Amino acid sequence: MEDSDIKIFQGKSAKKNTDDSIALIEEMNAQRVNGNTQRAYDLGNYLADRFLNTEELRASLEEEVGPLNYSEKVIFQIKILVFFTAEYCINRLLPNTLTKSTAINTIYDKIVKNAGDFYEEFNDGVEYSFYYLAVKKDDVLTEVGNTFAMLCRKTSDENFAILGKDIFVAVVNEVDKIIRSYEFVR
């Protein structure tokens, strides 16, 4: 058998990959032209700045949930819940995968740049996995609250479950308003 006798079959896969690539490029261009890419970038920067400022975050949350006089470990868990909740809202409210990815990546790029120690500590953790499981349950608020209490090692303290639920609700309300103010094109 000679090389010329061997036929290389190019199935629909190569054509589909090319079509998918072209569609992605077209979608990226459309999102850039309509301003959504810039909106997503600006949103990510704003949310990162807003939630990385621990004192500002504490002050605004205290208006909603009461005093946050807790240990650094609990404050760390609060910040993780806040960033998870922001990502949760982005995934629910932004118009497409490109804008969602842009906003979320911008948040984490800013965290890495401005709060590397925080990023390293929570990036190695399992907290997000537990919260993702919680938001897939029927009673999201109760599950998020219970998850927060568990991560704070306070599963038997109902006040921690309530605190986690209240933080989640407060951040969802705030981030929903912020996202809507950016007026993403649908």
pLDDT in tens, 5-38: 665 555 566 566 777 778 888 888 888 999 999 9
Q: How far apart are CA 41 and CA 100, in angstroms?
A: 10
73 falls within a domain: yes
3 falls within a domain: no
The CA distances from residue 95 to 30, 102, 109, 178, in Å, are 12, 12, 21, 15
Give the predicted TM-score (pTM) of the model. 0.86
Residue 58: domain span: 12-181
Number of domain units in the chain = 1
Helices 12-33, 36-52: inter-axial angle, 10-degree rounding: 70
88 falls within a domain: yes
85 falls within a domain: yes
Average pLDDT in the chain: 91
Cα Dmax for the chain: 81
pLDDT digits (tens, 9 = 90+) for 93-137: 999 999 999 999 999 999 999 999 999 888 878 999 999 999 999
7 falls within a domain: no
Looking at residue 139, its pLDDT comes to: 97
1 falls within a domain: no
Token output for 131: 């919260």
6 falls within a domain: no
186 falls within a domain: no
Looking at residue 142, its pLDDT comes to: 98
Q: How far apart are CA 78 and CA 73, in angstroms?
A: 9
